[in-house]
Amino acid sequence: MKINKIVCIGAGYVGGPTMAVIADRCPHVDVTVIDMNEVRIAAWNSSSLPVYEPGLAEVVQRARGRNLKFLNHIDGVQALKEADAIFISVNTPTKTHGPGAGKASDLSYVESCARFIAQHVSGQKIVIEKSTMPVRTAELIKEILTHNNSQAKFDILSNPEFLAEGTAIRDLEKPERVLIGGENSEAVQALVDIYAQWVDPRLIITTGLWSAELSKLAANAFLAQRVSSINSMSAVCEKTGANIDEVAKVIGTDSRVGPKFLKASVGFGGSCFKKDVLSLIYICESYALPEVAHYWQQVIEINEWQKKRFAQKIIESVPPHGTVAILGLAFKKETNDFRESASIDIVQHLLQAGLKVISYDPKVNFTEFAKGLQKAENLKSASSIAVAINGVHAVAILTEWPEFASINWQEFAPQLKNCNLIYDGRNIVPVDAPLPPKLNFQRIGVSG
Ligand code: NAD
Ligand code: UGA
């Protein structure tokens, strides 16, 4: 079995960058990315890509028009018919209604992909789960495919993606591991051969299907748990006079723990941690493992609490109807993505408390951000840091954009004359940064 032609359904934060890197690294393989969102496809075909990722534009530039195409899903049918391998890279959000609402993954987009594939293909096809899916979803996909198409032969593989936003291209070009789960060793090998074009084969882990599906959820749950662990400690630090950055340094120097992912923050965000932990919780409940479900539920609870207590401190520091500047809307630096960003909840808490909010973020589309917020009439956008902080009663840093770490606060003393509090929700302002006098400066996990 050999993969010469690939189709990927879903041109989002994963499908777009992942396929661009595959096309870039495998010039002999034809890669077509299809999506039902025509606006997104048009953006992938323009100079203004729908996803901001360092290095992405260069990769797309090299491969697009050579062996990389972006098409709407109707125009992509011919490519689908010809493909040897079809990646499913669509969204798997938390269900909002029906059984499992609020926890289980909504597989309707995945199911519609399976029906779309079944409707159009014949011959032998490798169907690859790239989206994050609950364990045993491959069973469901296979059932839909075979029920709706008796002519084609399908092999299902699970190849979950581990890239992090902001470093997606680096993560794809130099992954710590690639995971491929499957039953048919020939199909598994065909996909291994694709990645082996640029990834050291020793980093390509092959497992059973269910292990691959569960490993992805488990990996995200462990990462989210680490952030909630350090954030829970940040609250203890604030009460006791210990300093979270010092504590994290000590914990992280133990090689069994390691230094990464121990940065206290306003709470984790992003489209995946919360939904994947919730999905795991639902799986545990479905398999009658309430103790395990409860254990993981705490990771979410601490995260919600961290956001709330941060907002509460700001609310307590400003006069009624006062104004707060929010620096950073993205859920982390180097991305325009604000899905599940801590800033959404924090801004909402401030607005609900009757405060006015003025925000600045170098990449996030403010109009999109403000959609869905209540009392959004009291939320405004600023074109720069200087405009955002002018005359406010408090400033909160919610994203670790480098430009916030290097703000010269003393220079802004006149604009900050009404300001009671600068709250660094990312602990990025250097501890020795000169500050205007009589201004209360607070860090996460540091008392005072
Ligand atoms: P996304 O919302 O950015 O993109 C999904 C795309 O799929 C959308 O453009 C949507 O229009 C398209 N789509 C949905 N149903 C379709 C259909 N039937 N036909 C054609 N197109 C369809 O999502 P994303 O962030 O790329 O995430 C995709 C999956 O990857 C999720 O399961 C997520 O958990 C997982 N994942 C995401 C990341 C990340 O950093 N964003 C990292 C690893 C894994
Ligand atoms: C995460 C995982 O890191 C990826 O491996 C995974 O593929 C991806 O989820 C996914 O499945 O979607 P991502 O959400 O893009 O990637 O970004 P992270 O770097 O993991 O950050 C997640 C959140 O945790 C951010 O809000 C970040 O600011 C926060 N965080 C991270 C902290 O608060 N402290 C830390 O020490 C690390």
- In tens, the pLDDT along 280-320 reads 999 999 999 999 999 999 999 999 999 999 999 999 999 99
Q: Which residues pair with 154 in a beta bridge?
A: 125
Indicate if ligand 2 lies below 6 Å from the C-beta of 195.
Answer: no
β-pair type (153-158, 178-182): antiparallel
Task: Return the residue matching tokens 């041109």.
Answer: 11
22-25-28-31 Cα dihedral, nearest 10 degrees: 20
Q: Please say whether the dihedral angle defined by the alpha carbons of residues 406, 409, 414 and 416, taken in this order, is positive or negative.
A: positive
Orientation of helix 342-352 relative to helix 290-317, angle to 10°: 50
Nearest ligand to the C-alpha atom of residue 401 = 2
pTM above 0.95, yes or no: yes
| pLDDT, tens digit, 9 for 90 and up, residues 78-137 | 999 999 999 999 999 999 999 999 999 999 999 999 999 999 999 999 999 999 999 999
Q: What is the separation, in whole angstroms, between the first and last Cα of the chain?
A: 64
Token pair of 403 as six digits: 């430009």
Query: Which residues of the chain are in CATH 3.40.50.720 domains?
Result: 5-207, 273-443
| pLDDT, tens digit, 9 for 90 and up, residues 419-437 | 989 999 999 999 999 988 8
CA 144 remoteness from chain centre: 28
Q: Which of 90, 176, 220, 334 has the most ligand 2 atoms within 8 A of CB, as the residue to mutate?
A: 220
CATH architecture of 5-207: 3-Layer(aba) Sandwich (3.40)
Indicate if ligand 2 lies below 6 Å from the C-beta of 234.
Answer: no
Average confidence score pLDDT of the chain: 97
Indicate if ligand 1 lies below 6 Å from the C-beta of 72.
Answer: no
Instruction: List the catalytic residues.
Output: 272
Indicate if ligand 1 lies below 6 Å from the C-beta of 268.
Answer: no
| pLDDT, tens digit, 9 for 90 and up, residues 239-255 | 999 999 999 999 999 99
pLDDT value at position 438? 81
| pLDDT, tens digit, 9 for 90 and up, residues 356-414 | 999 999 999 999 999 989 999 999 999 999 999 999 999 999 999 999 999 999 999 99
For range 172-191, the mean pLDDT: 98
Q: Which amino acid is at 294?
A: H
| pLDDT, tens digit, 9 for 90 and up, residues 15-47 | 999 999 999 999 999 999 999 999 999 999 999
Q: Which of 272, 277, 340 has the most ligand 1 atoms within 8 A of CB, as the residue to mutate?
A: 272
- Residue 6 dihedral angles phi and psi, to the nearest 5°: -120, 140
- The CATH fold assigned to 273-443 is Rossmann fold (3.40.50)
- Residue 358 dihedral angles phi and psi, to the nearest 5°: -125, 125
How many Cα atoms sit within 13 Å of 70 on the Cβ side? 27
How many Cα atoms sit within 13 Å of 159 on the Cβ side? 28
Q: How far is the CA of 224 from the centre of ligand 2 (A)?
A: 8
Q: How far is the CA of 145 from the centre of ligand 2 (A)?
A: 33
Q: Of all residues in the chain, what percent carry a pLDDT higher than 70?
A: 100
